[in-house]
Amino acid sequence: MIAIHPLVGIGEIRPGDDLSAILTAALAASDLLPVRDDDVLVVTQKIVSKAEGRSVDLADVAPDAEAERIAAITRKDPRLVALVLAEASAVLRAVPNVLITRNRHGHVMANSGIDRSNIGPGDTDRALLLPLDPDSSADALRDAVGCPVVISDSFGRPWRYGVTGVAIGASGLPSLVDRRGELDRDGRRLEVTQIGLADMIATAAALATGEGAESVPAVLIRGAAWPRGSSPAAALVRPLDEDLFQ
Amino acid sequence: MIAIHPLVGIGEIRPGDDLSAILTAALAASDLLPVRDDDVLVVTQKIVSKAEGRSVDLADVAPDAEAERIAAITRKDPRLVALVLAEASAVLRAVPNVLITRNRHGHVMANSGIDRSNIGPGDTDRALLLPLDPDSSADALRDAVGCPVVISDSFGRPWRYGVTGVAIGASGLPSLVDRRGELDRDGRRLEVTQIGLADMIATAAALATGEGAESVPAVLIRGAAWPRGSSPAAALVRPLDEDLFQ
pLDDT at residue B123 greater than cutoff 60:
no
- What is the band of A171 on the pLDDT scale with cuts at 50, 70, 90? very high
Q: Indicate if A92 and A25 belong to the same structural domain.
A: no
Residues A186-216: pLDDT tens digits?
666 666 689 999 999 999 999 998 644 456 8
Question: CB distance from A181 to chain B under 8 Å?
Answer: no
Question: CB distance from B160 to chain A under 8 Å?
Answer: yes
Range of the domain at A79: 55-129
Q: What percent of chain B has pLDDT over 90?
A: 80
- What is the band of B213 on the pLDDT scale with cuts at 50, 70, 90? very low
Closest by CA to B115, choosing from A227, A175, A193, is A193
Distances in Å between the Cα of B143 and the Cα atoms of B137, B147, B222 are: 10, 8, 18
Residue A174, helix vs strand vs coil: strand
Compute the distance between CA of residue B169 and CA of residue B237 in angstroms, rounded to an integer. Answer: 11
Q: Which residue from B115, B196, B212 is facing A160, i.e. has the nearest CB?
A: B196
Compute the distance between CA of residue A198 and CA of residue A164 in angstroms, rounded to an integer. Answer: 13
Compute the distance between CA of residue A222 and CA of residue A230 in angstroms, rounded to an integer. Answer: 18
Q: Which position has the higher pLDDT, A89 or A214?
A: A89
Is residue A162 a part of any domain in this protein?
yes
For residue B212, the model assigns a pLDDT of 46
pTM: 0.94
Q: Indicate if A159 and A231 belong to the same structural domain.
A: yes
Q: Indicate if A30 and A61 belong to the same structural domain.
A: no
Q: Indicate if A119 and A161 belong to the same structural domain.
A: no
Compute the distance between CA of residue A181 and CA of residue A163 in angstroms, rounded to an integer. Answer: 32
Q: Please give the tally of structural domains in chain B.
A: 2
Is residue B246 a part of any domain in this protein?
no
Question: CB distance from B99 to chain A under 8 Å?
Answer: no
- Which of A40, A95, A200 best tests the B interface by mutation, with the highest count of B CBs <10 A? A200
Question: CB distance from A92 to chain B under 8 Å?
Answer: yes
- Residues of chain A contacting residue B5, judged by C-beta atoms under 8 Å apart: 1
ipTM of the complex: 0.93
pLDDT at residue A226 greater than cutoff 80:
yes
Q: Indicate if A43 and A76 belong to the same structural domain.
A: no
Q: Indicate if B17 and B136 belong to the same structural domain.
A: yes
Is residue B166 a part of any domain in this protein?
yes
* β pairing state of B88-95 and B177-178: unpaired
Closest by CA to A163, choosing from B238, B220, B230, is B238
Judge if the upstream peptide bond of residue B232 is cis by omega within 30 degrees of 0. Answer: no
- What is the band of B121 on the pLDDT scale with cuts at 50, 70, 90? low
- What is the band of A178 on the pLDDT scale with cuts at 50, 70, 90? confident
Q: Which residue from A4, A119, A196 is facing B1, i.e. has the nearest CB?
A: A4
Q: Indicate if B118 and B136 belong to the same structural domain.
A: no
19-58 of A, contacting B, C-beta below 8 A: none
- Residues of chain A contacting residue B164, judged by C-beta atoms under 8 Å apart: 164, 195-196, 199-200, 203
Rounded mean pLDDT, A140-165 = 96
Domain boundary among A80, A109, A129: A129
Q: Indicate if B149 and B230 belong to the same structural domain.
A: yes
Q: Which position has the higher pLDDT, A233 or B118?
A: A233
What's A73's domain CATH number? 3.90.1660.10
Q: Give ∠ CA B12-B219-B52 in degrees, rounded to 5.
A: 45
Is the CB of residue A41 less than 8 Å from the CB of residue A218? yes
For residue A14, the model assigns a pLDDT of 95
Q: Indicate if A84 and A180 belong to the same structural domain.
A: no
Q: Which residue from B116, B190, B206 is facing A211, i.e. has the nearest CB?
A: B190
Is the CB of residue B180 less than 8 Å from the CB of residue B173? no
> What rounded mean pLDDT belongs to chain B?
91
Q: Indicate if A144 and A35 belong to the same structural domain.
A: yes
Residues B32-61: pLDDT tens digits?
999 998 999 999 999 999 999 999 999 999
Is residue A159 a part of any domain in this protein?
yes
What's B173's domain CATH number? 3.30.1330.100
Question: CB distance from A184 to chain B under 8 Å?
Answer: yes
For residue A213, the model assigns a pLDDT of 46
A86–chain B nearest CA distance, Å: 20
Q: Indicate if A72 and A62 belong to the same structural domain.
A: yes
Is residue A67 a part of any domain in this protein?
yes
For residue A242, the model assigns a pLDDT of 75
Question: CB distance from A160 to chain B under 8 Å?
Answer: yes
Rounded mean pLDDT, B188-213 = 82
Domain boundary among A129, A148, A173: A129
Rounded mean pLDDT, B77-93 = 96
For residue B186, the model assigns a pLDDT of 63
pLDDT at residue B223 greater than cutoff 60:
yes
For residue B179, the model assigns a pLDDT of 80
Residues with Cβ within 8 Å of residue A178, at least 6 apart in sequence: A193, A194
Is residue A244 a part of any domain in this protein?
no
Helix ranges restricted to H, chain A: 19-29, 45-51, 65-74, 78-87, 134-145, 197-209
- What is the band of A80 on the pLDDT scale with cuts at 50, 70, 90? very high
Is residue B245 a part of any domain in this protein?
no
Domain boundary among B129, B157, B186: B129
B14 burial (CB, 10 Å; 0-12 / 13-18 / 19+) is exposed
Residues B136-195: pLDDT tens digits?
999 999 999 999 999 999 999 999 999 999 999 999 999 999 887 776 666 666 666 899
Q: Give ∠ CA A84-A88-A92 in degrees, rounded to 5.
A: 95
pLDDT at residue A123 greater than cutoff 60:
no
Is residue A246 a part of any domain in this protein?
no
Q: Indicate if B92 and B137 belong to the same structural domain.
A: no
